[in-house]
Chains A and B, each alone.
Chain A
Amino acid sequence: MTEASTHHIRFTLNGSEVSADVKANDTLLNVLREQLGYTGTKRGCETGECGACTVLVDGKAVNACLILAPKVDGRAIQTIEGLAKGAELHPLQKAFIEEGALQCGFCGPGMLMSAKALLDEIPNPTEDQVRRGISGNICRCTGYAKIVKAIMKASRQMARVGGEGA
């Protein structure tokens, strides 16, 4: 398989089937942003160090800049565009807004997806677990205090709603 050879891949993106023709060395980040027009996922370094490009692949938080597109064939991808259910924001999104968790917001999409992966795995995290969960996401603006607070708040909110629903 040469570098230039194209692959036809199919995967679910925020619940919908999509397909794309990608090169062997295309990253998932490029396919999302350039081919599919999903620019919510951000590019801050392209070397796996800033976390701005974090998306969920089969529920796990990964750096889209490090994943080669052919590898996501058949998998389920979630991006920031799919976090809200239509007009209804996810509890994390609401908490981020209420707590003033973001300033420039550039880290936000990656930060929110990391937080989502964290809460999916640990619904009631300690502050330390939250800090660990987002330690791969650099935010240069906020000092993380309000981000951590927002994630804790969302987890409480979700526990409440989940509890009531059960």
Chain B
Amino acid sequence: MKKRGRGMACMYYPLGFTSYPNPSAAFAKYNPDGSATVLTGAQDIGQGSGTVLAQIAADTLGIPYDRISLIYGDTQAVPMDAGSVASRVTYIAGNAVKKACEQAKSILLDVAADMLGVLPHGLDVADGWVYLKDFPEKRVAIADVAKTAEVGRGRPAQGHGTYNPATTLLDKETGHGKPYEAFVYAAQVAEVEVDTETGEVEVLKIYAVHDCGKAINPMMVEGQIEGGIAMGIGYGLTENLVIEKGHVLNPQLANYIVPTALDVPPIESAIVEIPEPKGPFGAKGIGEPSLLPTAPAILNAIYDAVGVRIRDLPATPEKILAELEKLEKEKAK
């Protein structure tokens, strides 16, 4: 018989390393043609940091996104970074990029103020222009200012920035301390169908609500959520590297089962966008948290469907059948 059930799970997850410093650094410069070059140590590993950091740079520098060149990937040439790990890049490297851009911008505004005959604090940048905030018609192209700064005044509009979250070590005895600066939260619901004859579980639908602060790029946030869920399905139901007496028995994709397009159900996701004051443009992160609630939500749904709790991952058909059998025997007593 096929039985349906639903289950849910919550999580919270920090940005950055536990207690240890994990700084990011960045460098930004306006080029004399009004484009900009930004150097970051943060490596894009496919998660999209190369795009997100460029978005942060574009809006901070006030120039179009396609005029930003973001450079990474050379330890002899770019500023240091603690790495594309720990869901830290948008928040920490993003803050570093923002600071670097702000420093470049402050030089740009200084020179522009001089050119326009106003005070720098009345100015801002957008869309390739430096403009007077109270009277936007008074403006000068960033290209002209950047060129004047570099060629005319000998003061290139460039800057650097670093960011490191404020944390403390954990006390050795009590474990007390402030290991992280910010957390993200999430919860998911899984709907499943369990076949009581075969023990097979089909995940029918996942609902996922995640907080990532301000979503710099909602399409990429969704992508992270969907990818995390797929990995969570594998974690909960199929993936198991069998190591017996130190020997891996299934070192091939043929018998280490990663979810395919047929194993991932429709996903309905929502982002709760509550800006984090310390994040760049209010952003936090999403990389790791997306996978966290999926496996327990599925396992709780299995319990809801057939009344067995699998306390050893993954929840394979064999384990479910064995627990169902136990349940039958108990009922019979």
Direct contact of A and B (CB under 8 A): yes
What residues of chain A have their CB less than 8 Å away from a CB belonging to chain B?
Answer: 45, 47, 49-50, 99-100, 103-106, 130-132, 134-148
Q: Looking at the complex, which one of A50, A105, A130, A141 makes contact with B253 (CB distance below 8 Å)?
A: A50
Q: Looking at the complex, which one of A130, A136, A142, A148 makes contact with B227 (CB distance below 8 Å)?
A: A142
Q: Is the interface of A mostly helix, strand, loop or mixed?
A: loop
Instruction: Say whether A142 contacts B223, CB under 8 Å.
Output: yes
- Supplied contacts A104-B46, A134-B260, 12 more A-B pairs, CB within 8 Å: A47-B253, A103-B227, A104-B47, A132-B262, A137-B261, A140-B227, A142-B226, A143-B267, A144-B264, A145-B222, A145-B226, A146-B226
Interface size class of B (residues with CB under 8 A): 20 to 34
Name the interface residues of B128-165: CB closer than 8 Å to any CB of A.
Answer: none
- CB contacts (< 8 Å) of A106 on chain B: these are 46
Instruction: Say whether A143 contacts B253, CB under 8 Å.
Output: no
Interface stretch of the complex, out of B104-112, B228-236, B309-317:
B228-236
Instruction: Say whether B228 contacts A143, CB under 8 Å.
Output: yes
Q: Looking at the complex, which one of A49, A134, A140 makes contact with B252 (CB distance below 8 Å)?
A: A49
Docked pose: A145 CA to B262 CA in angstroms: 11
A50 to chain B, nearest CB (A): 6
- CB contacts (< 8 Å) of A138 on chain B: these are 253, 258, 260
Q: Residue of B at shortest CB range from A106?
A: B46
Docked pose: A146 CA to B223 CA in angstroms: 7
Given known contacts A47-B252, A49-B254, A143-B227, is B261 in contact with A135 (CB within 8 Å)?
A: yes
Q: Residue of A at shortest CB range from B256?
A: A49
Instruction: Say whether A141 contacts B227, CB under 8 Å.
Output: yes
- CB contacts (< 8 Å) of B262 on chain A: these are 131-132, 135
Q: Looking at the complex, which one of B46, B47, B222, B261 makes contact with A148 (CB distance below 8 Å)?
A: B261
Docked pose: A146 CA to B225 CA in angstroms: 11
- CB contacts (< 8 Å) of B260 on chain A: these are 134-138, 144
- CB contacts (< 8 Å) of B78 on chain A: these are none
What is the 8 Å Cβ interface bit string for chain B, positions 246-286, against chain A (1 contact, 0 not)?
00000011100010111010110000000000000000000
Given known contacts A131-B261, A142-B223, A146-B226, is B231 in contact with A45 (CB within 8 Å)?
A: no
User: Of residues A49, A50, A103, A130, which shows the largest number of chain B Cβ atoms within 10 Å of its Cβ?
Assistant: A103
User: Of residues B48, B220, B225, which shows the largest number of chain A Cβ atoms within 10 Å of its Cβ?
Assistant: B48
Docked pose: A99 CA to B228 CA in angstroms: 18
What are the 10 tightest A-B residue pairs by CB atom distance, in nearest-first order?
A104-B46, A143-B226, A143-B230, A49-B253, A131-B261, A144-B261, A100-B219, A145-B226, A103-B46, A143-B227
**Is B332's beta carbon under 8 Å from chain A?**
no
12 chain-A/chain-B pairs, Cβ below 8 angstroms: A47-B253, A47-B254, A99-B219, A104-B46, A131-B262, A135-B261, A135-B262, A140-B231, A141-B227, A142-B227, A145-B264, A145-B266
A122 to chain B, nearest CB (A): 15
Instruction: Say whether A103 contacts B48, CB under 8 Å.
Output: yes
- CB contacts (< 8 Å) of B264 on chain A: these are 143-145
Instruction: Say whether B258 contacts A104, CB under 8 Å.
Output: no
Given known contacts A131-B262, A135-B262, is B46 in contact with A141 (CB within 8 Å)?
A: yes
B320 to chain A, nearest CB (A): 24
Q: Residue of B at shortest CB range from A105?
A: B46
Name the interface residues of B172-226: CB closer than 8 Å to any CB of A.
Answer: 219-220, 222-223, 225-226
Docked pose: A145 CA to B205 CA in angstroms: 12
Docked pose: A13 CA to B225 CA in angstroms: 38
